[in-house]
Amino acid sequence: MSDDEVRQLLREIRDVQREQLAEYRRVTERSLELQQRAVARQEQFGRLYRRITAVTGVVIVLCWCCSPSP
């Protein structure tokens, strides 16, 4: 193999590695974005669950307090 062929092969290897690194970064950034969205959605559902639980508790207490005694 000539020096020029070796240089060309090394350039091709370098270019492929750069492309792979760029793709890895893109996939990693997308994965992080999806994880952040999932965490935010879990926090929203947690707040909603707490609100529903509190309202349900108040309704139960009101129904119990306002029901006629036997």
Give the range of the structural domain holding residue 42, as residue numbers without chain letter: 1-65
- Evaluate whether residue 30 is within a structural domain: yes
Domain count along the chain = 1
21 band by pLDDT with thresholds 50, 70 and 90: very high
- Evaluate whether residue 51 is within a structural domain: yes
- Evaluate whether residue 58 is within a structural domain: yes
Closest CA to 47 of 59, 39, 33: 39
- Evaluate whether residue 44 is within a structural domain: yes
**Considering the entire predicted model, what is its pTM?**
0.64
- Evaluate whether residue 70 is within a structural domain: no
- Evaluate whether residue 18 is within a structural domain: yes
In this prediction, residue 1 carries a pLDDT of 84
- Evaluate whether residue 36 is within a structural domain: yes
Q: Is the pLDDT of residue 53 over 70?
A: yes
Instruction: Please tell me the total number of residues recorded for the chain in this structure.
Output: 70
Closest CA to 42 of 30, 50, 32: 50
- Evaluate whether residue 23 is within a structural domain: yes
68 band by pLDDT with thresholds 50, 70 and 90: confident
Q: Is the pLDDT of residue 19 over 80?
A: yes
